[in-house]
Structure 1
Amino acid sequence: MHSRIGVFLSPVHETGQDPHLAIRRNLDLVEQLDDLNFDEAWFGEHHSLGWGLVGAPETMIAAASQRTRQIKLANGVVPLSGHHPFHVASRAVHLDHLSRGRYILGVGPGVPFDAGMFGLEPPVQRTRLAEALPTVLELVNGTERVTDKTDWYELHDAKLQLPRFSPAGIEVAMATSGTSTASPRLAGQYGLSMCSFALPFALMTPGAPQHIDLGRQWEHAVAAAQEHGNTMDRSAWRIALPVHVAETREQAYADVREGYDRWLFDYFGRAAGREVLSPGVPRESMLEARVEAGGALVGSPDDVVAGLQAMQERTGGFGTLLVYVADWTSWEKTDRSMQLLARYVAPRFTGTTARPVEAVDWAITARGGRP
């Protein structure tokens, strides 16, 4: 039974704690989520700013594949601008085997903070993504040998020796964020699934939109798909944003307020050098402003269900919520939030509460309405 909820682990962890334990925590969490029937776990790749410690997500996916039974595991994402396409494809096929078909290859251009260390500018990242993508797709899911030459990689009659584990092919997903149309159009051009970030990195900065128009991202993908004879499937569309659930709205905000402040001002403000204050919004109200803007869901199970319903209406419908695990609170409170999501939010999202409720109503009606 699918929950239609997964997690996106950048993963970020506040500095000042043991990095080894932080890394182990991510694997422990995914193992718990597998038991809670979460559908997916995505691992990001980061090489700078101190908070994002995972620079080799494939190793995390390989380890998680041996600890779990049903949850799908994904790169979130492989920055194709920084990897040779043949190595990307080879690792993907190996992970397809290790996970017994539970692997998703997420791709994107890469984050600008990391790219600076490799001498890459954002336009070059996007160009390399477009250049490498068809090569990766053929190596992973095709049958032909690939000959390709660019100014940064070269292949001559290349083909993987190891066949895929998944006969129908490995799912490939394109990451999209911000207002750029390039990534959604690539998703449509090649018929890929899509993972969109709803204001993932906070920042209601001066002049920034109150909502990232996810519906427009989908429209660009659909338009490109039609141009190239493909179709886009809304059920394969993921939307990622921070989520925290507690028994009450007041408790949920109390759980995450201090951690959110440090994440916003220490990580994005001090480490990344971004302007994070918004005109007219006092610092103590930044969390509420973010939630109101649709960049996070914080509250009781009912609050989160209402937020998901609003997002479904705003986007026109999507398939899976990816909880961006921002490490805003203790591991224990994060675990409790995940339990509440699994027990009380996911069933409302999927409609699986309907039959037990209908059974009660039927029993009452069958005995003439008597209690």
Structure 2
Amino acid sequence: MMSTKLRYGAFCGPHHALNENPTLCLQRDLELAQHLEYLGFDELWYGEHHSAGWELIASPEVMIAAAAERTTRIKLGSAVSSVPYHHPLMLAERFSQLDHMTRGRVMLGMGPGSLASDAKMMGIEVSKQRDMMDEAIDVIVRLMRGETVTAKTDWFTLDNARIQMTPYSRPSIDMIAASTISPTGARASGRNGIGMLSFGATSSGAFDALAANWGICEDIARDHGKTVDRANWRLVAPMHIAETREQARAEVKHGIEGWADYLRNVAALPIVPGGGDVIDALLDSSMAVIGTPDDAVAQIERLTAQSGGFGTLILFAHNWADWPQTKRSYEMFARYVMPKVDTLPDNRAISEDECRTARPELAGQIGAAIQARIQRHVDEKGAKNIAPQLIDALPEKQS
């Protein structure tokens, strides 16, 4: 298990089917922040998308601001801000403002943009998105650390540029680069000494690349005189938890087929295994947990062994089940998975075991103490008003 206490969060793309009211869906995504905070989760990430119908959030910043007003402790981030779609100074300025508004609870996740259809509408060549991401991240990190930056690329210019307000968080806000299978995100993280968020960490290609990508991140960090920490590495994994595997399977039938169709045929993301029953495909590939808290613990152990250790498990907010059942899944995770994964000594279990072992001796001592008090009263006042069974239990009556 983990050598340090694991942290927990959720990634809210979001993924909402077309048959739902989008206004209510967005409200539910804000309610998710409140629910997760109540359960003790550490962070929530909102995505940015502009097409394809399911992923409704165009501005993670707007969601973060609204969620921050509904919560007090949980950290809130963008996963990710699609940096090729924004001038770097404007993105840095907005997140610096949010850092003050949230009193240091904001996190900036950066990536190239996951939907090619978004880039197409803006005339951005998909082949250039990752180069644009690298160029943007390299200056955004410097801006967020309070530097004055001059830079010129073929799509943005910075002329003696700086953010107006130094971030509330010092030396800067939490920042991460998105990673899947390719080394792009790992190289950006290492080059800038920031965290990494591995999407689809349980899908076959990304799972196989976990350790390699972290190794790349560390190597590139050394090359640039930077350091990176596994505590700032986040892995995204889809789970739905219920009392039994059969119940979990029944609950996710509400929306899992539509979700898989969206990712396979609309978003065209290589996440969901193809062919056959969706649930069977996810389980057979070990990509998802659709089962019990013990199944969730086993998946975390699997990710830990494969990666070599990471800092935060991020649950994929997939909406496979209806909303009440989805909230219940998060609750069961918090109640039964988090405590079992935590490797700190469980003093409750130690205490229970010690008391169980010592019970015969302690029970005898308690009985003797009670009998001594009864005997003292009888010696002083006689047996009047004392229940007969208590008198019969006295040692002199048993001799």
Structure 2: gaps of 5 or more residues: 364-399
Hey, what's the Cα distance between the residues in 1 that align with 2:29 and 2:252?
A: 19
Q: Note if 1:71 corresponds to 2:65.
A: no
Amino acid at match of 2:284: E
3-state SS of the aligned residue for 1:77? strand
Q: Note if 1:61 corresponds to 2:50.
A: no
2:191 pairs with one of 186, 189, 192: 189
Hey, what's the Cα distance between the residues in 2 that align with 1:358 and 1:288?
A: 39
Hey, what's the Cα distance between the residues in 2 that align with 1:277 and 1:313?
A: 22
The aligned residue for residue 358 of structure 1 is: 350
Hey, what's the Cα distance between the residues in 2 that align with 1:233 and 1:261?
A: 38
2:15 pairs with one of 12, 30, 45: 12
Q: Report deviation, 1:52.
A: 0.5
How large is the RMSD of aligned CA atoms in angstroms? 2.3
Hey, what's the Cα distance between the residues in 1 that align with 2:316 and 2:290?
A: 12
Amino acid at match of 1:43: Y
Contact kept, 8 Å, 2:263 with 2:272, in 1: the verdict is no
2:243 pairs with one of 247, 259, 267: 247
Contact kept, 8 Å, 2:260 with 2:272, in 1: the verdict is no
Contact kept, 8 Å, 2:15 with 2:259, in 1: the verdict is no
Q: Note if 1:293 corresponds to 2:290.
A: no
Q: TM-score, normalised by structure 2?
A: 0.84
Hey, what's the Cα distance between the residues in 2 that align with 1:73 and 1:160?
A: 21
3-state SS of the aligned residue for 1:239? strand
- Larger gyration radius, structure 1 or structure 2: 2
Hey, what's the Cα distance between the residues in 1 that align with 2:131 and 2:222?
A: 22
Aligned counterparts, 1:1-371, within 5 A? 4-111=7-114, 112-142=116-146, 144-178=147-181, 180-198=182-200, 209=205, 211-265=207-261, 267-272=262-267, 281-282=275-276, 284=277, 286-351=278-343, 354-367=346-359
Task: Pick which of 221-230 and 346-355 moved more.
Answer: 346-355
Report the CA distance shift for 1:197/1:273 in structure 2 as closer, same or farther (over 3 A): closer
Contact kept, 8 Å, 1:241 with 1:322, in 2: the verdict is yes
Amino acid at match of 2:304: Q
Hey, what's the Cα distance between the residues in 1 that align with 2:6 and 2:210?
A: 22
Hey, what's the Cα distance between the residues in 1 that align with 2:172 and 2:270?
A: 43
The aligned residue for residue 392 of structure 2 is: none
Hey, what's the Cα distance between the residues in 2 that align with 1:223 and 1:155?
A: 29
Hey, what's the Cα distance between the residues in 1 that align with 2:280 and 2:71?
A: 36
The aligned residue for residue 205 of structure 1 is: none
Hey, what's the Cα distance between the residues in 1 that align with 2:53 and 2:189?
A: 31
Q: TM-score, normalised by structure 1?
A: 0.91
Hey, what's the Cα distance between the residues in 2 that align with 1:243 and 1:188?
A: 29
Hey, what's the Cα distance between the residues in 2 that align with 1:48 and 1:303?
A: 35
Hey, what's the Cα distance between the residues in 1 that align with 2:184 and 2:258?
A: 32
3-state SS of the aligned residue for 2:53? coil
Contact kept, 8 Å, 2:272 with 2:282, in 1: the verdict is no
Report the CA distance shift for 1:294/1:226 in structure 2 as closer, same or farther (over 3 A): farther
Contact kept, 8 Å, 2:6 with 2:313, in 1: the verdict is no
Q: Report deviation, 1:113.
A: 2.8
Hey, what's the Cα distance between the residues in 1 that align with 2:150 and 2:123?
A: 26
Q: Report deviation, 1:210.
A: 8.7
Report the CA distance shift for 1:212/1:113 in structure 2 as closer, same or farther (over 3 A): farther
Q: Report deviation, 1:173.
A: 0.5
Q: Report deviation, 1:3.
A: 6.4
Contact kept, 8 Å, 1:347 with 1:353, in 2: the verdict is no
Q: Report deviation, 1:275.
A: 8.5
Q: Report deviation, 1:139.
A: 1.3
Q: Report deviation, 1:108.
A: 0.9
Q: Report deviation, 1:64.
A: 0.7
Superposed CA offset, 1:251-275 (max 9, x none): 111111341111112x124433578
Report the CA distance shift for 1:370/1:250 in structure 2 as closer, same or farther (over 3 A): farther
Report the CA distance shift for 1:369/1:87 in structure 2 as closer, same or farther (over 3 A): farther
The aligned residue for residue 380 of structure 2 is: none
Amino acid at match of 1:272: A
Hey, what's the Cα distance between the residues in 2 that align with 1:273 and 1:167?
A: 39
Task: Pick which of 254-263 and 184-193 moved more.
Answer: 254-263
Q: Report deviation, 1:297.
A: 1.7
Contact kept, 8 Å, 2:180 with 2:206, in 1: the verdict is no
Contact kept, 8 Å, 2:8 with 2:41, in 1: the verdict is yes
Hey, what's the Cα distance between the residues in 2 that align with 1:277 and 1:336?
A: 24
Hey, what's the Cα distance between the residues in 2 that align with 1:322 and 1:274?
A: 19
